[in-house]
């Protein structure tokens, strides 16, 4: 337990590179540096995953993830063997998630920024004939300017995949909370 607390404190105390605090594109790259090691879990990140994301997400998005995780826990407590309400990668349009990214143009004002991100998915070497196909798409990352600098505040799913995520990440998280009230 004490080891977990020290790990959590170290994660929260670790400052972002100065450039990420001042530059929306650098903040998006900092987010994807965390994402690349976390997205395979799929669904709403667990407590450890949320701790890893905390330094790169806005307080609003961190709270939404925590609220959605609590709502999922309420559902699981009520319904034995309830499946997760959100499955697959929640931070991109594609269920399998992205394996590479390139931050494009960012448009910012004093409080918010929007960055286009070119994403791609390359499946691992084929294990079977049903392996997903490679894919490329663009999503938009919304950032909020906080006292600690730019932080990811939302994701707009721009790809339009037939079976992928649509709308916004914040809308999906709110749906989970609304479906499983306190």
Q: Give the residue carrying structure tokens 């799929």.
A: 42
pLDDT band at 127 (very low <50, low <70, confident <90, very high): low
pLDDT tens digits for range 133-162: 899 999 999 999 999 999 999 999 998 888
Q: Which long-range contacts (CB under 8 A, 24 or more apart) does 8-15 make?
A: 8/51, 11/51, 11/52, 11/54, 11/55, 12/51, 12/54, 12/55, 14/55, 15/55
Q: Where are the domains of the chain?
A: 23-179
pLDDT value at 19 more than 60: no
CATH number for region 23-179: 3.10.450
Q: Whose CA is closest to 43, among 87, 85, 96? A: 87
Within the chain, where are the H helices? 2-13, 18-22, 24-38, 47-53, 59-78, 169-179
Q: Are 15 and 27 in contact (CB under 8 A)?
A: no
pLDDT band at 125 (very low <50, low <70, confident <90, very high): confident
């Amino acid at each position: 337990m004490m080891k977990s607390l020290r790990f959590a404190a170290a994660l929260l105390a670790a400052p972002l590179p100065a450039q990420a605090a001042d530059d929306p594109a650098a903040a998006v790259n900092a987010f994807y540096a965390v994402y690349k090691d976390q997205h395979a879990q799929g669904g709403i990140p667990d407590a450890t995953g949320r701790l890893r994301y905390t330094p790169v997400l806005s307080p609003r998005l961190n709270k939404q993830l925590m609220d959605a995780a609590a709502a999922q826990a309420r559902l699981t407590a009520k319904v034995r063997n309830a499946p997760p309400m959100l499955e697959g990668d929640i931070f991109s349009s594609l269920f399998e998630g992205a394996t590479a990214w390139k931050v494009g143009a960012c448009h910012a004002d004093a409080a918010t920024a929007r960055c286009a991100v070119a994403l791609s998915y390359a499946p691992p070497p084929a294990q079977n004939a049903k392996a997903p196909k490679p894919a490329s798409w663009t999503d938009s990352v919304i950032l909020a300017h906080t006292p600690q600098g730019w932080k990811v505040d939302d994701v707009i799913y721009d790809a339009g995949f037939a079976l992928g995520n649509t709308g916004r990440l914040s809308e999906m998280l709110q749906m989970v909370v609304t479906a499983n009230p306190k």
